[in-house]
Amino acid sequence: MKVTEHINQAKDTLISFEILPPLKGKSIESIYDHLDPLMEFKPSYINVTYHRSEHMFKKRADGSFDKVEIRKRPGTVGICAAIMNHYSIDAVPHLICGGFSKEETENALIDLSFLGIDNVLVLRGDAPKNETFFEAHPNGHRYALELLNQVVHMNNGIYLEEDLQGGLKTKFCIGVAGYPEKHFEAPNLQTDLGYLKRKVEGGADYIVTQMFFDNKKFFDFVNRCREAGITVPIIPGLKPLTTKKQLTVLPRTFHVDMPDELAEEALKCKTDKEVEVVGTEWLIQQSKELKAAGVPVLHYYTLGKPHVIHKVVSTIR
Ligand code: FAD
């Protein structure tokens, strides 16, 4: 079932979770171990992120360098199929531009269609950690909008290969990303919103936001979207603060602000266990306020912290 169908049929705010594929070599059991405790909340769907592999350069004895793959998280499509089969619940695979040719994307979409997966979250992806700027694949896409156009074309039965006939088994429901605190490369929020609007006009059915720790930023963003004529559902993306290190890592990595009050409380903590308590309480308050404001879905980035998300959701539901 499509994310928008879940939203349209809902009587109350829905719950969804987002997971990362495990590192190469781990089994699907690690996904089930992660998700099992959260299933009692009957999430409407589970997102599975997509990652290009990362490389580093290792010096050889002769002084030259070897490009070595250091982290790989394959399996988004397979994990989505396993989740749907194991839990009878919808899965939302992320699709990214980075590292993929149009043909590879087409093949991934055909696989998803065969598997009966109705949803995709369409993203650009970031530059690999050791590179400064995002580079498109020579036969790939530069912006999420271009990838979205490819999905929309396939929804309309248009393939890259002319000899392929007919449409996909399913017409994908398409989500895109939005940034309450602006995407870090955009010159300003208004320009960023202009590009977001183009994604919606291009066929995006809903928006999921980057994490934020100050609900006012989300509410302001929604107001600005509505003023700009963006009418699709906007789903808040939520993550708990769980370590002191994240006070600097999260702003640096995701370009989000930490509210004074949260930062002050976390800085007073002596251990990360205490920070986790502070972060959990903060997320509970954020979630309660968003739910009271009638957001369509509370979307939690679980990222290795299912017990925290469990505590939050069991408190607010
Ligand atoms: P775009 O919409 O393409 O925007 C990128 C930048 O380009 C923005 O600054 C925008 O303003 C600008 N822009 C857009 N169109 C144009 C244009 N035509 N001309 C000039 N500028 C333009 N990353 C992963 O690798 N894997 C994941 O699974 C993943 N999941 C995510 C889930 C969510 C909910 C979010 C919020 C992010 C996720 N990301 C993921 C990170 C995401 O890929 C990065 O934030 C990336 O830098 C931008 O992706 P986007 O889809 O927003 O890009």
DSSP state, residue 140: S
Indicate the pairing of strand 206-211 with strand 90-96. unpaired
Phi-psi region of 116 (alpha: psi -120 to 50; beta: other; left: phi over 0): left
Phi-psi region of 308 (alpha: psi -120 to 50; beta: other; left: phi over 0): alpha
Distance in Å, CA 251 to ligand 1 centroid: 17
Asked whether this complex has an ipTM greater than 0.95, the answer is: yes
Distance in Å, CA 40 to ligand 1 centroid: 32
Q: Which amino acid belongs to residue 176?
A: V
Tens digit of each residue's pLDDT (9 = 90 or more) over 195-231: 999 999 999 999 999 999 999 999 999 999 999 999 9
- For ligand 1, whether the C-beta of 183 sits within 6 Å is yes
pTM greater than the 0.90 cutoff: yes
Distance in Å, CA 52 to ligand 1 centroid: 14
- Measured CA to CA, the distance from residue 93 to residue 71 in angstroms comes to 19
Mean pLDDT along residues 230-255: 97
Is CATH 3.20.20.220 correct for 3-316?
yes
Q: What is the band of 72 on the pLDDT scale with cuts at 50, 70, 90?
A: low
- Which ligand 1 atom is nearest residue 198's CA? 15
Among 119, 124, 225, name the best residue to mutate to test ligand 1's pocket (greatest count of ligand atoms within 8 A of Cβ). 124
Distance in Å, CA 70 to ligand 1 centroid: 24
DSSP state, residue 89: -
* Exposure of 178 in the CB half-sphere (CA atoms within 13 A): 32
Indicate the domain borders of the chain: 3-316
Distance in Å, CA 280 to ligand 1 centroid: 27
Tens digit of each residue's pLDDT (9 = 90 or more) over 115-172: 999 999 999 999 887 788 899 999 999 999 999 999 999 999 888 876 566 667 789 9
> Which residues make Cβ contacts (< 8 Å) with residue 143, sequence separation at least 6?
97, 124, 195
Place of tokens 């912006």: 143
Distance between the two ends of the chain, CA-based, in angstroms? 23
Residue nearest (by alpha carbon) to ligand 1 atom 9: 186
> Which residues make Cβ contacts (< 8 Å) with residue 171, sequence separation at least 6?
155
- For ligand 1, whether the C-beta of 50 sits within 6 Å is yes
Torsion of CA 277, 280, 286, 291, to 10 degrees: -140
Distance in Å, CA 144 to ligand 1 centroid: 6
Q: Which amino acid belongs to residue 145?
A: L
